[in-house]
Structure 1
């Protein structure tokens, strides 16, 4: 498995390029706010050649740490889970009681991934993607598996000693 470590300042340019390639850019919309995911704390995993193999970026508030991006180049190899657990350890160390993540109604793989790792459905923001599409017409009408893309789903994992 690639080596994962906390993001440092030397990672910012490669992370920005990775997010451009994998996410279409580093800007992530959260509740109408544009978040620069490339500037956030988190963890990066590098392969043997030094290329980014996985990334998790986090946004903290007084109660929780929110996963803004989570991406592993090779799916189902355990790296996403490893990065997620590093984020949980970090949140606990900061005294935060939970991890929050969001996905869209079409992302069945993410819904499965997070629920199998202790997350519970938290909130449905019906029509949230429709509103974002008004501001950014490039957001497609159809998502994964041909599912119409309309809603945002939040999931929460309460952090105890788990």
Structure 2
């Protein structure tokens, strides 16, 4: 598997991954709506095809992971992308890599914590507010869990 910065030639594959995972190009977290196609990105390739995507933003000395998608689970794609993002953050002089997930995303919580990330904040009702920016966010999430809250996880670098 090869992880590399995305290029303009990847735009069709990136759009397809985002549309499948997020219902479009817009991701909303902590009251901010991001057009994920406009963000810098890392892609994971295997046998010449893109098998994963991580979009991010760097502000000051922090890298925020905005989206992380590995459509085929258990291949190590998410781990490789997250590791590459941490390396990129360190090279950029960042001291923190962080992200937002939601209260229903138990698989992501397990994944991130197993890779050294810690839950540092819970924002009750944040997803309810996010629906004003993206009305297509469902009321019920994974495992039938009502979708209301955002959880912030971080990895200190």
TM-score bin, normalised by smaller chain: over 0.9
The answer to whether the 8 A contact 1:18-1:52 is kept is no
Using the size of structure 2 for normalisation, the TM-score is 0.93
Q: Deviations over 1:92-149 (max 9, x none)?
A: 0000001101100000000110011010111111000111224443222111111111
Choose the corresponding residue for 1:94, options 71, 81, 92.
92
| 3-state SS of paired residue (2:131) | helix
> Cα gap change, 1:93/1:151 in structure 2, threshold over 3 Å: closer, same or farther?
same
Number of residue pairs matched?
Answer: 157
Which residue number corresponds to residue 110 of structure 2?
112
Larger RCO (CA within 8 A; separation ≥ 6): 2
Which residue number corresponds to residue 68 of structure 1?
66
Using the size of structure 1 for normalisation, the TM-score is 0.90
The answer to whether the 8 A contact 2:33-2:133 is kept is no
Which residue number corresponds to residue 24 of structure 2?
25
The answer to whether the 8 A contact 2:56-2:67 is kept is yes
Structure 1 runs (4+) greater than 6 angstroms displaced: none
What's the Cα RMSD here?
1.4
Which residue number corresponds to residue 51 of structure 2?
53
| 3-state SS of paired residue (1:16) | helix
